[in-house]
Amino acid sequence: MEWPIPLENPETTMASQASLRKNLLSSDRKSLIIGIVLLAVLIGVASMSVDGFASTNNARSILLLASFLGLAALGQTLVATVGGLDLSIPFVIGASNILLAYLFGTSIPPALGIFIIAVLGAAIGALNGVLSYRLQGQALILTLGIGFSLVGAAQIFTTFGSQYSGTVFSQVPAWFSNISAINGKTLGMPFPPVVLIWAVVSAILIFWIHHNRAGRALYAVGNNRTAASVLSISEFKVWVSTYTVSGLTASITGMLLLGFSGGGFVGVGDPYLFTTVAAVVVGGTSLLGGSGGYGATIVGVLVLQVLTSFLVGLGLNYAAQQTVFGLLILPMVALYARAPHIRYQI
């Protein structure tokens, strides 16, 4: 964990892991298996109890919404892997959303506009990274502050000369809407391209993290930054890179959500404030850093999204869904991210 929670010490993790060894499962794999089983059970139960749950339409909508959450949670996963937390994600999403809508309303070519917003998102991420590296242990507050400032500034910028507050209207190019609209087509196939994009990005990321030095460096830093620095792994570079990616993926999510909804709305990011954290945690990446991975987060994202769909099918509203999410986090975390008893930290 990035804020000063007593770190686990190996002497004591040993004790807490004694029971884990018995079934020869590493806690990473264990949480992944639990996640997949949970997902399968959810799908099974939902298909049986909710009419129309097992339809292509519903599957498409689950995957579409999962793509947004998945991309937003990508950065959160990387940041959590190195032991940080990025609470600016919802604000970057909201700001990117309205700023892109604003740019679409100007004479700037849409592609250039998208590029500008992506760079802006990455820059905000890098700023988060540099400042939170300096302010060890305060990443939570810092990213929140940066997020507030960004959203405030973006709204002031887009509201000047407009009587609508919080909402920006402009023409979204059709090709851009197609990427993330529910009726979008991918090379003629009946699902929106964002699903494919998410799948490809996920595959590349997972492969890269497993087989690339830089990917492994994330885990080294997340586990033990002092030991990593002795192996000439630059904590600063790793830290700032993950936050930069987080800013970038958040801004991409915000832009894709514009294509999804058709109008810019700053509040579009709000549900992602804690849901990205929930997806990461339910998947099995410990916020203490150094374990889990994006594969786990994908499972977490799907669990949350299938659960949402199931609860909607049962007639539960957004409010009840939030409660269920909250109730889900506790046992999932208790399964794999318990701190050792203090007596083993002495």
List binders of another protein among 63-102 (CB under 8 A): none
Count CB-CB contacts under 10 A for residue 41. 11
φ, ψ of residue 107 to 5 degrees: the values are: -85, 0
List binders of another protein among 274-313 (CB under 8 A): 274, 277-278, 281, 287-288, 290-291
**Residue 236 in the binding site for another protein (CB under 8 A):** no
d(CA 286, CA 87): 16
Minimum distance from CB of 106 to another protein (Å)? Answer: 19
User: Do 132 and 142 meet the contact criterion of CB atoms below 8 Å apart?
Assistant: yes
Nearer CB in complex with another protein: 106/163: 163
Stretch that binds another protein, among 12-20, 110-118, 193-201, 297-305 (CB under 8 A): 12-20
| Residue of 36, 50, 123, 131 that binds another protein (CB under 8 A) | 131
d(CA 43, CA 40): 5
Stretch that binds another protein, among 41-49, 239-247, 257-265, 321-329 (CB under 8 A): 321-329
DSSP letter for 186, please: B
Sign of the Cα pseudo-torsion (192, 271, 5, 329, in order):
negative
List binders of another protein among 137-156 (CB under 8 A): 137-138, 140-142, 144-153, 155-156
**Residue 213 in the binding site for another protein (CB under 8 A):** yes
CA-to-CA separations, 173 to 1, 71, 110, in angstroms, rounded: 42, 22, 8
Which tokens is 160 given?
Answer: 């000047």
**Residue 136 in the binding site for another protein (CB under 8 A):** yes
List binders of another protein among 160-189 (CB under 8 A): 160, 162-165
Minimum distance from CB of 276 to another protein (Å)? Answer: 11
Residue 9 CA to chain centroid, in angstroms? 28
**Residue 11 in the binding site for another protein (CB under 8 A):** yes
